[in-house]
Structure 1
């Protein structure tokens, strides 16, 4: 290729750091070429980079763009730093460009999101927007959320496994997809029935697109507070007016309206100086939960920094004349924003003393999709629903959850209607309630008699599973974590009960077939079934079986299976089966250092990469820089023809190229964590040494542990603040301190990989005519990915 080239004149700037060369630049370009670089980097790039990146754009089956990254420079076929994606069915594979596979999930996998709804992973292909997915903080085991960095899709090209846990969770994944276990992420193909998975018991509800209707408009605000221009302007600037049913901020508002209806206060006083009502809001709760509300206020564009905690001493006078003292501590979050307080009241939060005001479920909640209703009722339950409780002598079951409201007696009918609205809303989720109980209250400070109405929710097992698994609690972390343990425990008991019923029914058939009771009792003991229950049910004529299993108590179950201070539990693997599936599979890369998301309730690894950093700054390293570099040169073999210090026989070399980092760790050249923190766990599963030539093997066997030459390097680098263009992503990769020192290594596959590429260039040259392929550069010689030659190269290069 002629290197005396000019840079393209019709390159256009897409953004500060993206440049595009259109398909019209060169005949045969199937897609545009995109270069990621600053103006300075772009100017310094070799002109050959532009020639190569546009040549790649001409290859058959290329998708969307031919990319070149900021480190782009002249390469072999592809520019170094070149990236391209090809259609797995119609595209090609070329030694000029090397890629890694992605681990994937079945298209119907349910993905849990920030707002408690789930969507099938395939539905994210055309609609990702700014959704945040639920994930697990791998340091604290707490549930958090993150945006999606990348959505991935391809055809399944390796084994697809169906994995089922003891709690009934099922997931269909490619064999290379890592799932979280108590020992870290492990590829699905390496799991067995001896392993357990980390699961989030909360299921949530399906996503439904909201309607596009107006909930609050300017006229509504004026009707409440008059023509207050500044207040109205602020709501408009924050995207809250007009407020529509499909507003991206409505989910947060729904949670807040529910919670503040229960444990909040909205009110106003008249300011003579301003000649207007001054509105404010207070939320009451535990500090951890108030900080969560604080974050949500900030998401809406409002800052609420003041949290006060006070000792409370009060005397309550009962209607019968007796009095009792109440002592405690109360924490309150203060929001002085008038515009948000007015909006909250318009959305349905009662104003003033709630015990003296009617509470009604807002009309807009009734008309909303189920997932918005969930947010409202979960916020309300975070304030007012009792936590999972057990009686002292009943360690296997839970009492009826209770939702209570206190009102003055003149509002008793209204109070009853509100509880009936809550009951009817629960029916939409498939949750049944029992009776509403009335209890005499106290005399309030106005001398008015009060009462308490309590709505009791059915404590049947399936009902509680639906309650805690589909609705749960918002803004109450203690009840949320406790309910997740209770939810997992009930699922565990339900499955144990179903297994016992199945065993009893089968045993009845076996008795009729002549199997002795003794054999059945022995089998029951082996399977862990209650012998008394089996004996009691075996000879009953009725087909109805009540199998009250004796299992672990709730307390014992939580101590054994729930992660400490977490919503997550562990569940053992019961079944792993291989499926015959060749359709599309999907994955994400997350904008989170924890690299996971929740798929079918199972914590699943995303597809991503990692940068290893130091905790040193340039100021700390600079005095010993020469010593550091000298040590690196002495310790790391580098340069053309250099040989490594790792001496192995051919059979060991075959083991290395097919098992990767695992061999290094087992032979003392690495730590266990290295495998877990390397993309693909340090191995490419389809590596096949039989596709590698003897010449390539002989070139590679002596180069283990070497750096090489050319564009291969090991550098101690400084991450200057001015060079960080995306601080959030940088922090996710561990770059968080000004002038932080990092070590960057690029060693490649040395002569081993080069020889494999050379071998297959020759093979591909001989078959391109057969497949009717033409390329603009010999070093882009290729073959169809699905051809025998393409697959052979794919397996050979996986060894390098």
Structure 2
């Protein structure tokens, strides 16, 4: 445990933790702070994280934090570290990535459809992906766990029960998704609707290390396929499978889950063959584009490169009419994968004319592994849940169809029997197999349709849809979730009736209560009304027959249930469930939580949904006095024109080609499209485009997150401020920057939105998987890294550069929208808004120090180059780079300039005030409406989407910006130029 005694005071504003403090430190750790700020820094894990960052391979001189430092992911916010490019590493956690807890038995849904109790993640969390909800796209995604917490509860613990029987136990500050957004347990009450994701999955069991396929098994398959040792491709296919970690293949191989899903789909809507003169192996996949994209991602996880998704029009004769259909498909050209799948039991060629059974080895897999195969197979072949027409609260029997040639009918029945046998392990019942003549082809060959019919019993359907479900079929999974939840609700009604009739009423009759007294005590609403209970009392007393399972006429149909309880009329993945009980619990054990590496910061616990950046400053040619009477109009116009908050779409919608151009050309592409002036490019760090960016290094998932977000402000600590120049500290430099007293300026604080965060999450996951490959031992799993010059390191650097380009382009588009609003309200007298500078503060860049190339990681730190630096605009070169430091809402922001002394920090300074209070703590301590009134009484106009957002970002939640800036200036890392006071604030 680090104490004040372990820290050496170098001067009034600089402190050092010596390299000898811990044996694995490669360099000393330095803290820029005064006594007060150092005390703030000691309140969280900042210094422990700083010491860990000093262990990164290749780090030079010092691991440092700026005075606004606070705890982050992996390394602290405010971290600066220069790492050798020759033999050092690159780490996403050191560039830019809150605690409320759940009891240890809370079930957490994983990305592979199994659940584990949260306490069981303690040793494996850094290797796990869990299910998260992407609110903007209303779909589930796999998200890495960024951090795991295990603490004793410091607040009250509550149990919440919902109408359908859902239960969760959580601390009172834990946020749960509701119809009003994320709300803490403390604020929830009976009657409140909470968001749930109904899919349950199956319990996790660790797979055994038993071998499924060995090298000899693959050789046998090659011989069976007519390939002989020594021929071209024989040894090559073996090498490819070994290199990709697919041979030998064991039950605990981390790639087996992806293979099981691919197998299931190929058994259904896929096909594989050897084609052409060389006999190249090819696998063909057909389906909807969004489902095919998930298959492509899984193929990439196996190490294969699929083709893009194609579309093809076709016309089919249907009931005497030719209808046009658009088919989507892709393929993967990979002989080694075809050979591997065939060895695993997947047929090659036309499955109708192939004899095959369910592979024996699948029967020895764990339940969650079997689920992956079945769910992908069902995604291709099992019919969508469908309510009965005449019985409005019941569903048709699900049907699984396969087609077999005339002479293979018995084989088809045997295969469906295999499926039925495994279904029994999930509590899913089947009742019979029907047979119907299906088709006679041009050769006269007859194929038959075989239908495996499932039971329509309520619990069997719940198990089918909520334990197995569907993979690679978003629509069926969504409908299955709603149908399963509907049946759980129906089951709950039946169980309540049964308990009341069989137990509660007889017990009360025995003690002599009247019918009306019993009714008053037990009635809880439909179906347990007072009239119903009086009727049951009479029937029980007179020994009449009672129908336990009869559903009341007022019970909603499936369609009504969808309209009342689903997000976005059934188009989303979240359903609403009503709280029927909330009570405080005594909990003496530990409580647990995750930080999820996903911009929407949520995960699924007991089915409940629980919960890169930079600055630019524009200058005007008018004073606050000239704007004052029209300030409110300007604020309202900007708020209308600039999308902010979670989920709001941007000005420009990006297709594949334009996304590539934004990622690789940044501001230059946006200006060429007419959203800016050529001089804007000159006033951006790196001229608005970072070299080495590669759109191909950015995953499709990350691109999809950013596709609709270009030109949007976002939420959290991102903001837009109209400011006035309150004080000039250096007249000469201010003049060069175009600043004067009382001048109106605009500050934009936003970043790369969901895209940049997803890039970090994707590569943290990748890096964790290859740590052993590079023999890297971490002092903290959050410090995931790879050698800078490795293929993974270079791809991450290219993806990070692309993210930076997206962030610069985003701020450029926001600036364009502000300029349009400015002109609309002020006309010609407002003149033009000109960009002073745009600088990033979550970025890694290659810079040279003492003839050594370093990859300088700045996480919540601002570059501050001195005079004569060739990297800054020529007009500023004689005075140094503008350094933009946003303050807390309602206080002040600063413009400074870099100095030569800052070379000791790799020309880096703070990036803002730095938090001292979590967002949830801020919500407990501050009321947003009161803060709004206070700021407005000080003459600041506030435009915010919610009072909650205001409270989260209140000045009280941050360090004193004036003190932070004082440390930077007194340490001679930067010189003051001007102070900017807010006159209008827009928050997402």
Partner of 1:303: 305
Counterpart of 2:119 (choices 118, 122, 128) is 122
Per-residue deviation, residues 618-638 of structure 1 (Å, max 9, x unmatched) = 998993439999999999656
In the alignment, the residues of structure 1 paired with residue 365 and residue 884 of structure 2 have an alpha-carbon distance, to the nearest angstrom, of: 67
2:374 is aligned with 1:362: no
Counterpart of 2:289 (choices 287, 290, 295) is 287
Q: Is the 8 A contact 1:359 1:414 kept in 2?
A: yes
Counterpart of 2:69 (choices 81, 86, 93) is 81
Counterpart of 2:338 (choices 341, 345, 358) is 341
Instruction: Provide the TM-score with structure 2 as the length reference.
Output: 0.57
In the alignment, the residues of structure 2 paired with residue 266 and residue 656 of structure 1 have an alpha-carbon distance, to the nearest angstrom, of: 56
1:345, distance to aligned residue in structure 2 (A): 1.9
In the alignment, the residues of structure 2 paired with residue 74 and residue 626 of structure 1 have an alpha-carbon distance, to the nearest angstrom, of: 21
Partner of 1:553: 557
2:525 is aligned with 1:527: yes
1:273-672 to 2 correspondences below 5 Å: 274=278, 277-313=279-315, 328-505=325-502, 506-510=504-508, 517=515, 527-529=525-527, 537-538=536-537, 539-540=539-540, 541=543, 545-550=547-552, 551-564=555-568, 565-605=571-611, 611-612=717-718, 613-614=749-750, 615-617=810-812, 623-625=834-836, 658-659=925-926, 661=928, 663-665=930-932
71 and 573 in structure 1: CA distance in 2 versus 1, 3 angstrom threshold = farther
Per-residue deviation, residues 720-773 of structure 1 (Å, max 9, x unmatched) = xxxxxxxxxxxxxxxxxxxxxxx999xxxxxxxxxxxxxxxxxxxxxxxxxxxx
Q: Is the 8 A contact 2:238 2:336 kept in 1?
A: yes
Q: Is the 8 A contact 1:143 1:566 kept in 2?
A: no
1:84-163 to 2 correspondences below 5 Å: 102-163=99-160
Partner of 1:709: 962
Instruction: Specify every segment of 5 or more residues in structure 1 that has no aligned partner in the other structure, as ranges.
Output: 12-20, 25-31, 86-100, 317-321, 640-654, 684-699, 716-742, 746-800
1:160, distance to aligned residue in structure 2 (A): 0.7
1:281, distance to aligned residue in structure 2 (A): 0.6
2:379 is aligned with 1:168: no
Deviates more, 1:343-352 or 1:184-193: 343-352
Q: Is the 8 A contact 1:675 1:682 kept in 2?
A: no
Instruction: Provide the TM-score with structure 1 as the length reference.
Output: 0.69
> Which secondary structure does the structure 1 equivalent of 2:576 belong to?
strand
1:406, distance to aligned residue in structure 2 (A): 0.9
Instruction: Specify every segment of 5 or more residues in structure 2 that has no aligned partner in the other structure, as ranges.
Output: 1-7, 55-61, 74-97, 612-714, 719-748, 751-809, 820-832, 839-881, 894-921, 937-941, 969-978, 982-988
In the alignment, the residues of structure 2 paired with residue 633 and residue 623 of structure 1 have an alpha-carbon distance, to the nearest angstrom, of: 21
Deviates more, 1:184-193 or 1:242-251: 242-251
2:294 is aligned with 1:269: no
Per-residue deviation, residues 79-123 of structure 1 (Å, max 9, x unmatched) = x737699xxxxxxxxxxxxxxx82111011111011000111111
Q: Is the 8 A contact 1:35 1:68 kept in 2?
A: no
Deviates more, 1:348-357 or 1:439-448: 439-448
1:664-743 to 2 correspondences below 5 Å: 664-665=931-932, 673=945, 676-677=948-949, 681=952, 709-712=962-965
Q: Is the 8 A contact 2:888 2:953 kept in 1?
A: no
Q: Is the 8 A contact 1:500 1:549 kept in 2?
A: no
Counterpart of 1:247 (choices 234, 253, 258) is 253
Q: Is the 8 A contact 1:287 1:331 kept in 2?
A: yes
Partner of 1:89: none
Per-residue deviation, residues 288-326 of structure 1 (Å, max 9, x unmatched) = 21121111112212222243333445679xxxxx99989
1:232, distance to aligned residue in structure 2 (A): 2.3
629 and 518 in structure 1: CA distance in 2 versus 1, 3 angstrom threshold = same
1:46, distance to aligned residue in structure 2 (A): 6.6
Deviates more, 1:539-548 or 1:496-505: 539-548
In the alignment, the residues of structure 2 paired with residue 575 and residue 676 of structure 1 have an alpha-carbon distance, to the nearest angstrom, of: 25
In the alignment, the residues of structure 2 paired with residue 634 and residue 467 of structure 1 have an alpha-carbon distance, to the nearest angstrom, of: 52
1:219, distance to aligned residue in structure 2 (A): 2.5
1:164-243 to 2 correspondences below 5 Å: 164-225=161-222, 226=227, 227=229, 228-243=234-249
> Which secondary structure does the structure 2 equivalent of 1:376 belong to?
helix
1:229, distance to aligned residue in structure 2 (A): 2.5
> Which secondary structure does the structure 2 equivalent of 1:164 belong to?
strand
Per-residue deviation, residues 212-270 of structure 1 (Å, max 9, x unmatched) = 12222332233233342322222222222222221111101101101110111111135
360 and 594 in structure 1: CA distance in 2 versus 1, 3 angstrom threshold = same
Q: Is the 8 A contact 2:50 2:64 kept in 1?
A: no
1:591, distance to aligned residue in structure 2 (A): 0.9
Q: Is the 8 A contact 1:260 1:349 kept in 2?
A: yes
1:20-99 to 2 correspondences below 5 Å: 21-23=20-22, 72=64, 81=69
Q: Is the 8 A contact 2:405 2:448 kept in 1?
A: yes
In the alignment, the residues of structure 2 paired with residue 358 and residue 217 of structure 1 have an alpha-carbon distance, to the nearest angstrom, of: 24
431 and 706 in structure 1: CA distance in 2 versus 1, 3 angstrom threshold = closer
> Which secondary structure does the structure 2 equivalent of 1:578 belong to?
strand
1:385, distance to aligned residue in structure 2 (A): 0.9
In the alignment, the residues of structure 2 paired with residue 704 and residue 377 of structure 1 have an alpha-carbon distance, to the nearest angstrom, of: 50
392 and 530 in structure 1: CA distance in 2 versus 1, 3 angstrom threshold = farther
> Which secondary structure does the structure 1 equivalent of 2:489 belong to?
helix
1:209, distance to aligned residue in structure 2 (A): 0.8
1:404, distance to aligned residue in structure 2 (A): 1.5
In the alignment, the residues of structure 2 paired with residue 10 and residue 634 of structure 1 have an alpha-carbon distance, to the nearest angstrom, of: 33
1:663, distance to aligned residue in structure 2 (A): 3.1
Q: Is the 8 A contact 2:405 2:446 kept in 1?
A: yes
672 and 454 in structure 1: CA distance in 2 versus 1, 3 angstrom threshold = same
Q: Is the 8 A contact 2:27 2:63 kept in 1?
A: no
487 and 419 in structure 1: CA distance in 2 versus 1, 3 angstrom threshold = same
TM-align CA RMSD = 4.5
Q: Is the 8 A contact 1:148 1:590 kept in 2?
A: yes
In the alignment, the residues of structure 1 paired with residue 10 and residue 440 of structure 2 have an alpha-carbon distance, to the nearest angstrom, of: 92
329 and 3 in structure 1: CA distance in 2 versus 1, 3 angstrom threshold = closer
In the alignment, the residues of structure 1 paired with residue 945 and residue 389 of structure 2 have an alpha-carbon distance, to the nearest angstrom, of: 45
Q: Is the 8 A contact 2:717 2:953 kept in 1?
A: no
Q: Is the 8 A contact 2:516 2:534 kept in 1?
A: no
489 and 616 in structure 1: CA distance in 2 versus 1, 3 angstrom threshold = same
Partner of 1:786: none
Q: Is the 8 A contact 1:637 1:705 kept in 2?
A: no
1:781-792 to 2 correspondences below 5 Å: none
In the alignment, the residues of structure 2 paired with residue 209 and residue 572 of structure 1 have an alpha-carbon distance, to the nearest angstrom, of: 35
